[in-house]
Structure 1
Amino acid sequence: MSQAQVRAATASDVAEITRIQRETWRLAYAEFLGEQALAALDAPETEQHWAAAVEHPGTTVLVAVEGEFTVGYCVAGQAPHDEVESAAGELPEDADRVGLIATLLVEPRWGRRGHGGRLIGYAARALREAGAGRGIAWVAQSDAASLGFYKRAGWHPDGTVRTLDTGEKTIRELRLTGPLDLELTA
């Protein structure tokens, strides 16, 4: 059996992170995003964006690896105030101590092998070490798999929603919040 691990991403991981995003979005999110958003993933700027994220101070980019294969990734860091504020624009008292899981993707063919749990666990630890007391993530309301994953981690919708426009479709996202002392359950 292959060894599974999570480690910090490096510049040499950028091409694989980009590939995983492309393939996973096309497989799992095509109906939500539309053709324009998916086509944009082929632009050279996508890889440049990931290179900048890996090098950005204060951002944790992790990759999940099984054997020789990179199978998923997670991006986490301090939550910007506009991600934490209420629908009325008010900041909670702990706004400066909220971490953001900006994205967490595991290629569907590598799913159900614990990679997502390891990624969120390592990301939560990095956020705690950076001073965060709780975390947030935005998840498409129609993405039952991701909503179920975060629910098993103890994260739940906090009542805040937003709508993203992909250029041809809109996506309603729920803000989830939860503890960073994670204990995933089956």
Structure 2
Amino acid sequence: MALFSEQADVSVRPAVPGDELAIAAAQLAAWRDAHRDTLGEQVLASLDGAMFAERWAVAITSPPSRGHRVLVACEGADVVGFVAVGPIASPDDSPLDAPGGELFALEVAPRSQRAGHGSRLLAAAVDLLRADGADHLQTWVLDGDSARAQFLASAGLGADDAIRTLASGTMPQGTERQVTEHRWSAAI
């Protein structure tokens, strides 16, 4: 009788050159799945995967500081998600002196969601931020993203009073579309 494991081969590792295409694909798929109502089909259809991949390649190979990192979640050898973190810039623009960290992005491809990848990515990011001396974490959540809000709340983060409004493209009538984000934070 052969014994086998039903556990998937899953991991989190630092992103390396070559991961940028999978990161961009995961991000675009996740955004198109989660933000259709908020951002609109036109905005989501206009997103350029090659441009996203180029920006992720720079983030991986030339981060703005040693505290900025990109990690990927893998199923076997396949990249299925990612997280990008870094220090919160201090008032004197010396980010490594900042006591907090920011979660800039955390996305898992829709086909791989609900498998623990997001939790593993967040835990690894928090470990790195703590090692850099961060004592709290913050991130921004788009209005209407109830799945992200639930995920963050289950990880111990909560919304505070900070709100920001961002432009997200031009609507067919020529008016600018704006979206609102709320800051979520927690002590780490």
TM-score range, shorter chain: 0.7 to 0.9
Identify which of 143, 158, 171 aligns with 2:179. 171
2: CA distance, partners of 1:40 / 1:134: 35
CA spacing shift, 1:54–1:36, aligned 2, 3 Å: farther
Correspondence list, 1:72-87, <5 A? 72-81=81-90
Are the aligned partners of 1:156 and 1:176 in contact in 2 as well (CA < 8 Å)?
A: yes
1:44 paired residue number: 50
Are the aligned partners of 2:108 and 2:118 in contact in 1 as well (CA < 8 Å)?
A: yes
Question: What stretches of structure 2 of length at least 5 have no aligned partner?
Answer: 1-5, 92-96, 171-176
Identify which of 72, 80, 85 aligns with 1:71. 80
TM-score, normalised with respect to structure 2: 0.83
Identify which of 109, 126, 139 aligns with 1:137. 139
Percent of residue pairs bearing the same amino acid type = 35
Cα RMSD (Å)? 1.7
2:40 paired residue number: 34
Q: Computing the radius of gyration over CA atoms, which structure comes out larger, 1 or 2?
A: 2
Give 3-state SS (helix, strand or coil) of 1:74's partner. strand
Give 3-state SS (helix, strand or coil) of 2:48's partner. coil
Number of residues of Structure 1 aligned to a counterpart in Structure 2: 168
Post-superposition, which runs of at least 4 consecutive aligned residues in structure 1 deviate over 4 A? none
1: CA distance, partners of 2:162 / 2:185: 10
1: CA distance, partners of 2:77 / 2:50: 25
List per-residue Cα deviations over 1:26-75 (Å, max 9, x = no partner). 12212222345324432532211111111214311010011232111000
Give 3-state SS (helix, strand or coil) of 2:144's partner. coil
- Amino acid in the other structure paired with 1:69: D
Correspondence list, 1:84-103, <5 A? 96-103=98-105
Q: Does 1:109 align with 2:111?
A: yes
Are the aligned partners of 1:34 and 1:166 in contact in 2 as well (CA < 8 Å)?
A: no
Are the aligned partners of 1:163 and 1:172 in contact in 2 as well (CA < 8 Å)?
A: yes
